[in-house]
Amino acid sequence: MKKITALFVALLMISIVFAGCTTTSTTEATTTEATTQATTETPKDYTVDEILDAIKEAYGESYLPNMEIDETMLTDTFGIDMSKVEDVAAEMPMIGFHPDRVIVIKAVSGEGEAIEEELNAAKETLINESLQYPANLAKVNATKVIRHGDYVCFLLVGAPDDVSETEEDAAKFAEDEVSKAVDAVNALFE
């Protein structure tokens, strides 16, 4: 009887050892696989021109900006500290009546939030000064500043509104138009 009990205990111990090895191997394989997936998935990285192209594509013929905004205007008008900017693509229409402005900035690493604050301040200034062209008020009020990490976009863009009859209609039209740019940028970073 002692031999049978000893044999049973020995078999039980061997089972436990093999079960432990199998569990450890499976856990190690799962951990290794998860680590490999995490290291191969890198954050999405785009050039500012690729982001600008996605915005332009969202509007097609209705995209009005056709002139580059230079660094001086970015600094003087928008209050951008260019030492925080790694790369920028910025455009506005040549025709002065249209308020459209599209600015895509890749900030220096870690400076995205600071650039976002500067562009939000520029947005508020623009809204406060837009009373000089009441026809543009809805479009200017619909301006969006969005950020994905160190990529920041200032989006005052959309087709001209030739159909709205009320201020509410104009506001909705402008919101719908700017959302095309917001959606185009967000789609890149999903």
Give the strand order in the sheet containing 151-156.
Answer: 67-68, 85-92, 101-107, 151-156, 144-148
Alpha helix positions (H), 79-166: 112-129, 137-141
Residues recorded for the chain: 190
Rounded to two decimals, the pTM is 0.76
Percent of the chain exceeding pLDDT 90 equals: 66
CA end-to-end span of the chain, whole Å?
68
Q: For residue 14, what pLDDT is reported?
A: 37
Residue 91 DSSP SS3: strand
Q: CA 1 to CA 183: how far, in whole Å?
A: 77
Phi, psi of 62 (to 5 degrees): -85, 0
Q: For residue 142, what pLDDT is reported?
A: 96
Q: For residue 187, what pLDDT is reported?
A: 96
Phi, psi of 96 (to 5 degrees): -65, -20
Average pLDDT over the chain reads 81
Does the pLDDT value for residue 28 go beyond 70? no
pLDDT digits 0-9 by tens, 32-69 = 333 333 333 335 789 999 999 999 999 999 999 999 99
CB atoms within 10 A of CB 124: 11
